[in-house]
Amino acid sequence: MGNALGCCVPAAIKEYQFPSLNIRFTRKKKEEKALRSAGAELDLPFEIDWSTAKRENWKFESLTGPGRYFFKFQPEIEQISGSIAEGEAKLKSQPELYEGMMYQTNMKDWPSDQQNYKLVKRTGSGYRFTPEQPPSFTFLEAKYQALEHHSKITLDPDQYTDGMTFRGQRLGKACHPGRGQGVCDVPHIKIIGEIHPNDIIQGNVGDCWLLSAISALSEFEGAIAKLFKKTPNIKALPKNQPQKYVVTLYDMKTWAPVDIEVDERLCMKPDGSDILGCHPSYDGELWACYVEKAVAIHCGGWDEIDGGQCTHAWRLLTGCKYQYTFQHDGEGFLCLGKFNPNNEEWDPLENSVKKGTQGLWPMAWPEVGGGGDLSYKCGQNEMFERMCAWDDQNYVMAAGTKAGSDSNTTDGIVDGHAYTVITCLNDVAGTEHDLVKVRNPWGKGEFTSGRWCDDGPGWTEFPEVAAVCKPTKANDGVFWLSKAEFFKYFKTIYLCAQDMNAFIQ
């Protein structure tokens, strides 16, 4: 029996004696599961393809002043002794290779054999230069402008973006992606392309709980497109004219769908130096940025999504009530949730995870995977078997690390952080190895000391396992762990008991 939305199968509240599990012997074949997104089997890291860039879309902007520069990742810079004019010619002839060039402004008047300059390689470092007075340095930046410049369009703003704040501060002027403001200025800019969990790159808001939940949905072909079902012709956007997008979420008071309309602008940090929320994907997809923005608006602002739980995100995204949190208490995993066994009613909730009823109740275990009553506990081996069953049922999962600051890591695993559980594989390639594939929503930062990390010895020791798992040697936040390693670092498992095949249909 499903709930009012017809999306989930409830776990009955009853006494239950758990039977022996044979899940690993009855796993579904890949073709029997819900269709995964086109990019879900990505086995190479994304790279920006500049081969499709139109020469006329390159713009060169000169900034002069003593200024400051900043970057997201350490830039690669070439120091060159030679004519500044030759450097400018090199930049303009190969802008796909260089973000820009820096030189001492008055050096242009020096003899050419005494001149030198720096070329900043185009590595995705996010290098930016902010000029001040009096002038002393010049940065000539190569920008790709895929769409009409933002100054030449007339925007019909949404009712939210201009008034949004974060941690008590007004935000910087919002930016238009693809319009020459340094955000997603790439030739293949799009809202939705080959959707993949790697499209999620967390920004400056503490919403790993939300982004991990979104990343889990993105595995399934059609799930993200369904969120944009009220946006006409979404796969052909953006276009030159200013855009608006409609994201369909669920209201927690009524469990009814609600449409959130947002304009194309992305919120910036208060100092205007970078995007506040999640970044466009490495291959130029913007869907995650707009889903996150819509959720922030739906919940009452950016502060309302700064911290939370994956289960609440899945409520907002899918309208499914049957969300489970499994916590290890030192003896085994307990099943917890928002169904109050005392009055047999669901706790009242708000859209903001920080409002509404707090805390969790003991809940009966989902029937998929074996069931279990309110007091049932299971060990790590059995928990893995259940996770395999949920994976086969097209449920979505995430996992939380031990409490602590996300500035602290253990073997590359971040404290106080939520990761997407992408898949669980048992007896991989006929071996005894049970593996779990997870992803860090930061889009970087991985497990560093395991047998199955990117450079781990397991892949060469067992090439048949590598052939099945297709590990990618890239700092993209995706990595594999053995069953034992997974439960060593992850003490909380989150589950949305929603068959994604049914949700999509």
Pick from 358, 360, 370, 353: nearest CA to 327: 360
d(CA 262, CA 504): 23
208 assigned to active site: yes
Q: Which residue in 7, 175, 208, 320 is the catalytic one?
A: 208
The set of residues, in sequence order, having a beta carbon less than 8 Å from that of 30 and lying 6+ positions away, is none
The two structure tokens encoding residue 127: 């290098």
Any idea what the Cα angle at residue 306 is, between residues 302 and 308, rounded to 5°? 125
d(CA 443, CA 440): 6
Q: Which of left, alpha, beta for 489 (phi over 0: left; psi -120 to 50: alpha)?
A: alpha
Preceding peptide of 134 cis, ω within 30°? yes
Q: Is 198 within 8 Å of 282 (Cβ atoms)?
A: yes
**304 three-class SS:** helix
Q: Which residue in 289, 440, 469, 496 is the catalytic one?
A: 440
Q: Which of left, alpha, beta for 313 (phi over 0: left; psi -120 to 50: alpha)?
A: alpha
440 assigned to active site: yes
Pick from 267, 278, 80, 90: nearest CA to 161: 267
d(CA 354, CA 398): 20
Residues in the chain: 505
d(CA 122, CA 116): 20
Ranges of H-type helices in 169-309 = 208-217, 223-227, 287-299
Q: Which residue in 176, 196, 279, 417 is the catalytic one?
A: 417
Four-CA torsion 163, 164, 165, 171, nearest 10 degrees: -80
* CA distance to 233, 255, 398, per residue, from 351 (Å): 28, 10, 20
Q: In terms of C-beta density within 10 A (0-12 exposed, 13-18 middle, 19 or more buried), how is residue 420 classed?
A: buried
310 assigned to active site: no
Tokens 């890949």, residue? 30
- Asked whether the CA dihedral 69, 73, 78, 79 is positive or negative, the reply is positive
Which residues carry out catalysis?
Answer: 208, 417, 440
